[in-house]
């Protein structure tokens, strides 16, 4: 049996729309510039929106809650600053012996000066003048000073404490507040009654002479 073969199909022709291809591939220079301007405008708008999103909104600071929070923070900060200024200075332990010896020598010098003042004037400095009466004459009869010429503060920056005695025949209270700068504490540096001595006399009440009984004649 003979086999018959059919003829192969004819190739199909593909036609293109010349106007459509021309519209995509061939744009005028004006159209290209206009498209570029639009793309740049879109890019700038996107960048501006991004910056505005990152910028802080200060309008929130006007809210009552935010203002109250800022006020509380300012009060706490002010209290912290005041506390730091009022805090006592730290004392270096390595300097304590030297500073204590300096305070003790100054107190002993003041005690001798007070004794000279007592011998010359007949009394101790009044409480209002204190140790300043030893360096300057405030019209006290018999004053022969100045008896001292040094600072009136101890090595820790605290004034020496002077308390006039009730009786002129008692020694005054004279001491340094010590490293803690607080009076009447365990680290106070004080002078004793034996420190109130001088070469020109004594502050003590003269002892009365003993009575001598005369012999009686029977």
Number of domain units in the chain: 2
Task: Write down the pLDDT at residue 23.
Answer: 47
Task: Write down the pLDDT at residue 57.
Answer: 58
> Residues 169, 113: one domain?
yes
> Residues 48, 122: one domain?
no
Q: Which domain holds residue 49?
A: 26-54
Phi/psi for 63 (5° steps) reads -75, 150
Residue 170 has a CB neighbour count (10 Å cut-off) of: 14
> Residues 140, 49: one domain?
no
Cis peptide before 146 (omega within 30 of 0): yes
The first and second tokens of residue 37, run together, are 């301007």
Task: Write down the pLDDT at residue 102.
Answer: 92
The residues pairing with 134 across neighbouring beta strands, listed in sequence order, are: none
Task: Write down the pLDDT at residue 213.
Answer: 59
In tens digits, the chain (218 residues) has pLDDT values of: 554 555 566 666 555 555 554 545 556 888 888 888 888 888 888 888 777 666 555 666 667 777 777 888 888 888 887 876 665 555 444 566 899 999 999 999 999 999 999 999 988 999 999 999 999 999 999 999 899 987 688 999 999 999 999 887 789 999 999 999 999 999 999 999 989 988 887 777 554 455 555 556 55
The residues pairing with 153 across neighbouring beta strands, listed in sequence order, are: 159
The first and second tokens of residue 46, run together, are 């996107």
∠ CA(151), CA(157), CA(160), 5° rounding? 60
Among 103, 162, 158, CA closest to 129: 162
> Residues 159, 100: one domain?
yes
CB 211 within 8 A of CB 187: no
Is the residue at 107 inside a domain? yes
Classify residue 133 as exposed, middle or buried by CB count within 10 Å of its CB (0-12, 13-18, 19+). buried
Task: Write down the pLDDT at residue 32.
Answer: 82
> Residues 47, 104: one domain?
no
CB 123 within 8 A of CB 138: no
């Amino acid at each position: 049996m003979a086999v018959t073969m059919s003829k192969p199909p004819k190739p199909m022709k593909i036609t293109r729309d010349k106007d459509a291809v021309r519209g995509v591939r061939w744009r005028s220079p004006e159209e290209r510039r206009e498209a570029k301007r639009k793309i740049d405008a879109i890019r700038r708008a996107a960048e501006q929106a991004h910056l505005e999103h990152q910028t802080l909104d200060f309008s929130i600071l006007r809210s009552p809650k935010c203002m109250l929070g800022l006020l509380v923070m300012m009060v706490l900060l002010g209290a912290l600053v005041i506390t730091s200024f009022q805090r006592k200075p730290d004392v270096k332990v390595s300097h304590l012996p030297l500073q204590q010896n300096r305070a003790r020598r100054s107190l002993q010098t003041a005690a001798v000066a007070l004794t000279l003042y007592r011998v010359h004037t007949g009394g101790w400095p009044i409480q209002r003048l204190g140790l300043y009466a030893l360096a300057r004459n405030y019209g006290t009869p018999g004053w022969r000073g100045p008896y001292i010429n040094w600072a009136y503060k101890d090595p820790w920056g605290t004034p020496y404490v002077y308390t006039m005695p009730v009786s002129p025949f008692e020694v005054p209270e004279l001491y340094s507040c010590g490293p803690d700068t607080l009076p009447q504490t365990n680290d106070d540096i004080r002078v004793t009654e034996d420190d109130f001595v001088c070469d020109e006399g004594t502050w003590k009440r003269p002892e009365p002479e003993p009575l001598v009984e005369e012999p009686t004649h029977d």
